[in-house]
Structure 1
Amino acid sequence: MPEALEQDYTQKQLLEVNKALSSGMFVHVRRMLAHMADCDIALLIESSPYKGRAVLWQLVDPDVQGEILEELSEDVRSGIIAQMDPTLIAAATADMDVDDLAEVLRSLPDAVYQEVIGSMDSQDQERATLALSYPEESAGALMNTDTVTIRPDVTIDVVLRYLRIKGELPEATDELYVVDKNNQFLGGVSLASLLTSNPGLTVRSIMEDEYESIPVTMDESEVAQLFERHDWISAPVLDENQHLLGRITIDDIVDVIREDAEHSMMSMAGLDDEADTFAPVVKSTQRRSLWLGINLITALSAAFVASFFESTLSILPILAVLNSIVPSMGGVAGNQTLTLVIRGMAVGHINSANQKSLVYKELAIGALNGLIWAILIASVVALWQWDFNLGLVIAFAMFMNLLAAGMAGAFIPLLLKKMNIDPALAGGVILTTVTDIVGIFAFLGTATWLLI
């Protein structure tokens, strides 16, 4: 089915379920949910108002609740789990992959977590312990343990017979991993090689021994960069002693890339990338109020600087009209640089070796842009007010602020990264403060010096 038709069909399903739900046709809704894909049910829950989710969840078949929990965003999943009995949570997570199990368990309050663990059987408790043994957002937390391993000294014919007996392979399996008797990783064999090679050959003769693997402690964003660069479908995860621990598959990497993109976009507005669109009013207000409060502080800082020049503004009222131009231009230019640098850091283009070159480049761009727009604004203001000196004042302020914006846009995210502060979250606030204060001070300060 073409992608556009598939999207239309999904939207039609969602509309039908919502219509039946609002009409109280719960039996009909249950039947419809039974024929929907897990991802579509998750989308339906996320697209429903907060109060309607509890009703929908009660109509979902308990046998597929675990699969649906895997598809939900963290904020929505936490709201659903908060309404579930710990024994039901344990049952829903019984067949989850280790990485998804870890994500669910980490979102539970401590008291609920202990009850859920207590409700699990010994095998699931071991899986839970393994899932939580690695730091969040590391390769270990992202990996699955459902790997197929083979020995190097067996023949291809033996491997093929083993696979036929096994009957099925884990999802996204494109290679089998070769290990010794101590589970030491030796290399990999693609399924294509197994199917096209002479059955009498040994695994050692066709395996790739120069094989790039992923350290268990690697950050998930770095893992995503490796997958993107090498076009991997799956990759083995090893500990510091080169023992095979599991594998990471492309479906998990797609989630990481999407989450990183959403994080960068939402953080610019001071919002959580997992924020629930239909979260309760009070909860949403609390989250947004923090960002608004920070923005108010930056605005007051700029106003405080402007207050030093009250006498200047009273003598030359035209300065009040022009005062917003310079900070506004600096803010736009700075945000262009800031966005470019944050993206470069996210995709791995920026490192300690090229940071200095980047700062110099953005400084040069700021100077060139400053010169171009200073000349333009000076010409406009001088002709408009028939005041050459006023044109020179705003030209100087424009040049200085665009220069400062370019330097701040490059330097601020690099500094925040060294301080382990998220540049996407805090960079915009700091940049706005810098461009507002420099712009106001340069414009009004120069005007006070030259025109008064």
Structure 2
Amino acid sequence: MAEALKSKFAQSQLKQLNAALADGRFVSVRKLLHELPPSDTALILESSPVKTRDDLWELLDADFHGDVLEELSEDVRNGIIGKMIPANVVDALEEMDTDDLAETLSSLPDQVLQDILQSMDSQDRLRAEQALSYGEETAGFIMNTDTITLRPDVTVDVVLRYLRLKGDLPENTDTFYVVNRTDNLVGLVPVARLLTAAPEDKVAEVMDEESEAIPVNMPDDEVASLFERYNWLSAPVVDEKHRLVGRITIDDVVDIIREDAEHSMMSMAGLDDEEDTFAPVLKSTKRRSIWLGVNLLTALMAAAVSDLFEATLSQLAVLAILNTIVPSMGGVAGNQTLTLVIRGMALGHVTSSNSRWLISKELAVGFFNGVIWAVLIASVIALWKQDLLLGIIIAFAMMVNMIAAALSGATLPIVMKKLKIDPALAGSVILTTITDVVGIFAFLGTATLFLL
């Protein structure tokens, strides 16, 4: 519901902006853009064709560029940055949080990145290089370095006076982190507890000594699982020596969960999860052609199997009519298993300790589904074509393919993950190839043996 309302609101704003642009009312467009939150401005830019997007960006004051760039998807952001001069990009990135800076810079082409780094002063360049030093999809990559640290031997009164002098707190601050003189994390103090503690109490007396810290190299999907499991709002990040290096907040985790969901959905269709909806025709064609080419090769493999039985098909035309049933049923059954296992892996449910049990369970499901649908299809074909043997042949092929589909759907994601291949991206295509080849071979091969 919230997303639908947001979409309608953006559409209304976009209509106003387009009408103002068409009428040449650029002052009105500029005013409308500057009245919007950065997230709404980003949504409007993503919802606009490239020419309109460029016009809107030119009308947006440079002071707002950084905030809007943070909210844009990777493909749209890179397109805009690619048309900016490096000095202007540096100005836009200057106030970015560390995690947003790392994400923005890491997605840029190498030449653009080098141009931007060379345009930075030494302090900003050091901050950028530090942000990029952690691997993508790790805790260090998504963390913020804007943390407030306390010493265990100071009093609550001193801390409160320090906070009043400081003024603003980092965004989403719900906890202060307690470190020793070497910056090792020794505890944490929730803001609520600090505000209600006696002024003369020392931080060591009000802090929680046992604190769950996230290793800087932990994969971001594991970080998201920890936040979900323990209902954290924020968590400290430490290096290999247990020194505090930053923190991760719930808004970062929400981004991870959303990106993972988009990645899984788009990968099933062979698309980039950050692909610009309004990208130029040639760019979109090039990206999609690669995956269509892979799919064509797999389709040719299935056709090659059918070609092995050309003589059989030429003599028994009924087999050509029924030839699509077995592969289709296997494909659907296999994708059900594949989706279930990929989801289980994403949630951390599937591990090396229980994967064998899961494969056995899915094999059993495939067997029983095979029995049910084999009996049903055999009955239908026997009555429809008045041929009991043909019904038995297609039933046997159905059984074989349903079991093959279950085995493939359960094992492919596990094997592909070990090979560091994204199962959401390639699993469906490989599975479909297997069920097509096995289904066609089982059906036409058995028919050749018993009907000719």
Give a deviation string over 1:65-113, Cα, whole Å, max 9, x none: 0010010000000100010000000000000011111122223333332
**Closer, same or farther in 2 for the Cα pair 1:6/1:334, shift >3 Å?**
closer
| One-letter identity of the residue aligned with 2:387 | D
- Stretch deviating more after TM superposition (222-231 or 360-369): 222-231
Match of 1:423 in 2: 423
Give the whole-Å Cα distance in 1 for the aligned partners of 2:272 and 2:7.
26
- Stretch deviating more after TM superposition (198-207 or 260-269): 198-207
Give a deviation string over 1:231-269, Cα, whole Å, max 9, x none: 111110000000000001111111111110010111111
Give the 5 Å matches for 1:31-430.
Answer: 31-430=31-430
TM-score (norm 1): 0.98
Give a deviation string over 1:396-441, Cα, whole Å, max 9, x none: 0011100100000001111111111110111011101100000001
Instruction: Report if aligned partners of 2:156, 2:200 keep a CA contact under 8 Å in 1.
Output: yes
Give the whole-Å Cα distance in 2 for the aligned partners of 1:111 and 1:308.
51
TM-score (norm 2): 0.98
Give yes or no for the alignment of 1:449 onto 2:422.
no
Q: Give the SS at the match of 1:117.
A: helix
| One-letter identity of the residue aligned with 2:366 | G
Give the whole-Å Cα distance in 2 for the aligned partners of 1:116 and 1:318.
66
Q: Give the SS at the match of 1:201.
A: coil
How far off its partner does 1:163 sit? 1.1
| One-letter identity of the residue aligned with 1:451 | L
How far off its partner does 1:5 sit? 5.6
Instruction: Report if aligned partners of 2:334, 2:408 keep a CA contact under 8 Å in 1.
Output: yes
Give a deviation string over 1:369-399, Cα, whole Å, max 9, x none: 0000000000000011111111100100011
Q: Give the SS at the match of 2:285.
A: helix
Give a deviation string over 1:280-316, Cα, whole Å, max 9, x none: 0001001111111111111111111111111111221
Give the whole-Å Cα distance in 2 for the aligned partners of 1:310 and 1:8.
55
**Closer, same or farther in 2 for the Cα pair 1:124/1:423, shift >3 Å?**
same
Give the whole-Å Cα distance in 1 for the aligned partners of 2:67 and 2:83.
17
Instruction: Report if aligned partners of 2:10, 2:43 keep a CA contact under 8 Å in 1.
Output: no
Q: Give the SS at the match of 1:188.
A: strand
Give the whole-Å Cα distance in 2 for the aligned partners of 1:430 and 1:34.
49
How far off its partner does 1:3 sit? 7.6
Give the whole-Å Cα distance in 2 for the aligned partners of 1:145 and 1:302.
53
Give the whole-Å Cα distance in 1 for the aligned partners of 2:4 and 2:83.
36
Q: Give the SS at the match of 1:170.
A: coil
| One-letter identity of the residue aligned with 1:55 | D
How far off its partner does 1:7 sit? 5.2
Give the whole-Å Cα distance in 2 for the aligned partners of 1:57 and 1:3.
24
Instruction: Report if aligned partners of 2:264, 2:424 keep a CA contact under 8 Å in 1.
Output: yes
Q: Give the SS at the match of 2:300.
A: helix
Match of 2:30 in 1: 30
**Closer, same or farther in 2 for the Cα pair 1:3/1:299, shift >3 Å?**
closer
How far off its partner does 1:327 sit? 0.2
**Identical amino acids, percent of aligned pairs:** 62
Instruction: Report if aligned partners of 2:184, 2:244 keep a CA contact under 8 Å in 1.
Output: yes
- Stretch deviating more after TM superposition (150-159 or 71-80): 150-159
Q: Give the SS at the match of 2:31.
A: helix
Give the whole-Å Cα distance in 2 for the aligned partners of 1:5 and 1:385.
54
Q: Give the SS at the match of 1:208.
A: coil
| One-letter identity of the residue aligned with 1:182 | T
How far off its partner does 1:22 sit? 2.7
Give the whole-Å Cα distance in 1 for the aligned partners of 2:316 and 2:92.
70
**Closer, same or farther in 2 for the Cα pair 1:80/1:317, shift >3 Å?**
same
**Closer, same or farther in 2 for the Cα pair 1:124/1:197, shift >3 Å?**
same
Q: Give the SS at the match of 1:178.
A: strand
Q: Give the SS at the match of 2:178.
A: strand
| One-letter identity of the residue aligned with 2:431 | L
Give the whole-Å Cα distance in 1 for the aligned partners of 2:245 and 2:108.
26
Give the whole-Å Cα distance in 2 for the aligned partners of 1:293 and 1:428.
15
Give the whole-Å Cα distance in 2 for the aligned partners of 1:136 and 1:199.
43
| One-letter identity of the residue aligned with 1:283 | K
Give the whole-Å Cα distance in 1 for the aligned partners of 2:91 and 2:382.
75
Give the whole-Å Cα distance in 2 for the aligned partners of 1:312 and 1:53.
58
Q: Give the SS at the match of 1:403.
A: helix
How far off its partner does 1:32 sit? 0.7
Give the whole-Å Cα distance in 2 for the aligned partners of 1:111 and 1:441.
51
Give the whole-Å Cα distance in 2 for the aligned partners of 1:151 and 1:221.
32
Gaps of 5+ in 1: none
How far off its partner does 1:4 sit? 6.4
How far off its partner does 1:114 sit? 2.6
How far off its partner does 1:16 sit? 0.9
**Closer, same or farther in 2 for the Cα pair 1:447/1:257, shift >3 Å?**
same
How far off its partner does 1:121 sit? 2.4
Give the whole-Å Cα distance in 2 for the aligned partners of 1:394 and 1:86.
65
Aligned length: 452
Give the whole-Å Cα distance in 2 for the aligned partners of 1:54 and 1:179.
47
Q: Give the SS at the match of 2:189.
A: strand
Give the whole-Å Cα distance in 2 for the aligned partners of 1:6 and 1:393.
55
Match of 1:439 in 2: 439
| One-letter identity of the residue aligned with 1:73 | S
**Closer, same or farther in 2 for the Cα pair 1:282/1:3, shift >3 Å?**
closer
